[in-house]
Amino acid sequence: MLTNTLGYPRIGNQRELKKACENYWAGKITLNELQDVAKSIKLTNWQLQKDAGIDLIPSNDFSLYDQVLDLTLTLGAIPTRYAGLTDGNLTDLYFAMARGNQKDGNDVTAMEMTKWFDTNYHYIVPEFYKEQQFSLLSDKAVDEFREAKEQGIITKPVLIAPVSYLLLGKEKEEGFNRISLFERLLPVYIELIGRLVDAGAEWIQLDEPFLALGTDAEAKACILKTYEAIRKAYPSLKILLATYFEGLGENAAFAARLPVCALHIDLVRNPEQLDSVLPVLPENVSLSLGVVDGRNIWKNDYQESLKLIAKAKDKLGANRVIVSPSCSLLHSPCDLTAETNEEVLTPEIKQWLAFARQKLDEVVVLKQLANSENITFAANALKVNIATIETRKTSTLIHDAAVKQRVAAITDADANRNSSFNTRKQLQGKELNLPLFPTTTIGSFPQTKEVRSWRAQFKNGDITQKQYDALLKKETEETIRFQEEAGLDVLVHGEFERNDMVEYFGEKLSGFAFTKNGWVQSYGSRCVKPPVIYGDVSRPEPMTVYWTEYAQSLTDKPVKGMLTGPVTILQWSFVRNDQPRDITCTQIALAIRDEVTDLEKAGVKVIQIDEPAIREGLPLKKEDWGQYLDWAIRAFRISASGVADATQIHTHMCYSEFNDIIEDIAAMDADVITIECSRSQMELLDAFANFNYPNDIGPGVYDIHSPRVPSQGEMIVLLEKAQAVLPANQLWVNPDCGLKTRHWDETKKALIAMVGAAKALRETVAV
């Protein structure tokens, strides 16, 4: 019986990679210094997996920015707009594709970014053209295998398989299907795999996540051809085909019979699929059992996992069973032992958790228990595990009778505004008196080093609450004054008191716990520290009223109250797994509703409830969407429906495709929805136009995930595209997302240009 991991966190225990990348982008360190940091993280990860007892240790799971972008560079699928950068440093080309490039006479936009299936990780979307050619441009996968080999570790290189890679991308011109590129792509994969074999690779992991989503006949034919070609070219190579995030369903028999050595299935998301895979698995194929949750932080229930392992072992024999996490551990924090502050994470809650490092131990102990190895140690580990699981079930921390009663008492009226949108729009127009193409931002403004240092000093007790508040008030007032001078119509206070859009609210809600070092990668150098929802959720006191009310006191223009919505708080937290997610989400919705009504009482006329994770939360299989959307949309409506008609409710979503859920987006009944649109050149608006979306829309005209500053002319072009498909009186003007990660200089230039674009368009419409 073997043990296996599909991938490991690459940010470093102290976010070393984030800091190194940002220093490299700022010109503070050299490329060699950046590569030294990267190498140190890789070697540490390989060694700790080896020391833990993992047999199949991944390589090429490390990335400076994103694993899909790594593969795009490797395969030479470089969009033509980067042609001027291809002769130089491949690393700089790579970062330009991820972040755009606006220096040394260059001015190129970044590639699109979207969510990795139903996670909060973002990947860089490959761009495909009819005449697309592929060739090996980078030896990253081979180089990393050799790095590990030099340390005495023979790894299992990880590659996204050809068909899944194509499906992750987007056609950038009409008249072809990206799957038609398969015949050009496969030989390049065969060449790359050959280089890995020549370097000494014995196992290679090919990720086929789309097999768990359902694939059409053409894609399945290409998948079959992939593995037949690899088997023919390298008959002694062992291929582990990895699926995750869902069950194989109707593809179970197809996947099981592909010419590979091992098939990985996710038994956390879909334990039932074991019964459909075991009967159809050929005698020469092993089964990797994803029994340890790679996406959540709760300690594994050994007894439940052992039942699944025993079933597979009885059918296949121990030598054909591989024990694994459910997916890459990329989505888990690095190491629970770094959590030493008991005031932040209490021992009672900490004992219920397992981060990536601890999940390695769980995998190994499960193998030992199933294989009757190291009997004394394994038996003691099982005993401790059983006691811990029972302790969590009976803890008084978890349950709040008042919260449960309030959820049970919700009626349909609680999920509906008083009047229709048309009635509300008229009342809000009189109340707010906004111009055509009203301008606003999505909420946050740059969090400078000074702001972050104030927060750290306050948490460490180096400055008092009064001193901290005075600093924040000064920053807030400067931000209000800038927005007034720039000519923005609906202002925000800047959120300088907030650390993260989810963590900030979690800190003020009951039922949440926190970590000091529980970071996970969201995209590139952006890391988030998700709260842990361990119990019933409620709001003990107002969370945002003080700072919003203060900001409003500084200006006659409306200031938006800024909140994170219930679905996003749920999705971007590590959620308790001892009750249905919809119940937890409804509890959060009631807490946000309380905040919304308190903001209204304080005189706030515009309130934004961000829900960027609505789309992300969709089950991967379409037949399961209905149930999720019913409770997710209802939760948003509960949070937003306690206010008067004249109070304007906004929501924000980013990096989502809306076509297939547009009716549900409309059902949210937000007065204004703001969305990411700039990287896609307003393509996302087609869904709203085709549906005849009734409420107001703010399509983003400024890509805040890139340091590049767009010109006023570019923004006018985007707004003209928007106006071509939607009525002018329905359009708002705003950036794609919050400005927290940007610098003030670029932010001011971009927002001044944005306001200028809106004013220019008003004149055009007036004429």
Which residues are annotated binding-site positions? 15-18, 115, 442-444, 495, 526-527, 572, 610, 616, 652, 654, 676, 737
d(CA 509, CA 393): 21
Between helix 302-316 and helix 356-371 the angle, nearest 10°, is 50
Q: Which of 614, 704, 626 is nearest to 668 (CA)?
A: 614
Cα–Cα dist 533/523, whole Å: 23
Of 624, 651, 625, which Cα lies nearest the Cα of 637?
651
| CA 715 from centroid of its chain's CA atoms | 27
DSSP state of 418: S
Q: 199 exposed, middle or buried (CB, 10 Å; 0-12, 13-18, 19+)?
A: middle
Phi, psi of 106, rounded to the nearest 5 degrees? -95, 150
Cβ neighbours for 509, distance < 8 A, ≥ 6 positions apart: 537, 538, 539, 540, 543, 588, 591
Strand 520-523 versus strand 113-115 pairing type = unpaired
Q: Contact at 8 Å (CB) between 57 and 560?
A: no
Mark 524-551 as b/e (b = at least 16 C-beta within 10 Å).
bbebbbbbbbbbbbbbeebbbbebbbbb
Q: How far apart are CA 591 and CA 568, in angstroms?
A: 14
H-helix or E-strand spanning residue 22: helix 16-25
Could you give the C-alpha distances from 91 to 35, 99, 159, 519, 765, in angstroms and in order?
A: 10, 12, 19, 25, 45
The answer to whether 155 and 46 are in contact (CB under 8 A) is yes
Maximum Cα interatomic distance, the chain, rounded to a whole number of Å: 84
Check if the beta carbon of residue 671 is closer than 8 Å to that of residue 688: no
Residue 688: CA count within 13 A, CB half-sphere: 28
Q: Tell me the three state secondary structure of residue 207.
A: strand
User: Distance (Å, rounded) from C-alpha 264 to C-alpha 520?
Assistant: 24
Binding residues for L-methionine: 442-444, 495, 610
Among the listed residues 264, 331, 650, 705, the single catalytic one is 705
Q: Which two three-digit tokens encode residue 544?
A: 């945002």
Dist CA 437 CA 680 (whole Å): 20
Strand 510-513 with 532-538, pairing: antiparallel
Give the distance from CA 271 to its chain's centroid.
24
The gap between the terminal CA atoms of the chain, to the nearest Å, is 76
Q: From CA 270, how far away is CA 246, in angstroms rounded?
A: 6
Catalytic site residue 705? yes
Q: Which residues carry a binding-site annotation for L-homocysteine? A: 442-444, 495, 610
Answer yes or no: are the C-beta atoms of 549 and 596 closer than 8 Å. no
**Hey, what amino acid is at 295?**
R
Residue with tokens 């001015």: 107
List all residues 6 or more positions away from 197 whose beta carbon is below 8 Å from its beta carbon: 234, 237
Residue ranges for the known binding site for Zn(2+) are 652, 654, 676, 737
Query: Could you tell me how far CA 719 lies from the centroid of its own chain?
Result: 28
How far is Cα 176 from Cα 74, in angstroms, rounded to an integer?
23
- Would you state the structure tokens that stand for residue 731, as one six-digit string? 């359009």
Residues facing residue 206 across a β-bridge: 159, 241
Q: Which residues are catalytic?
A: 705
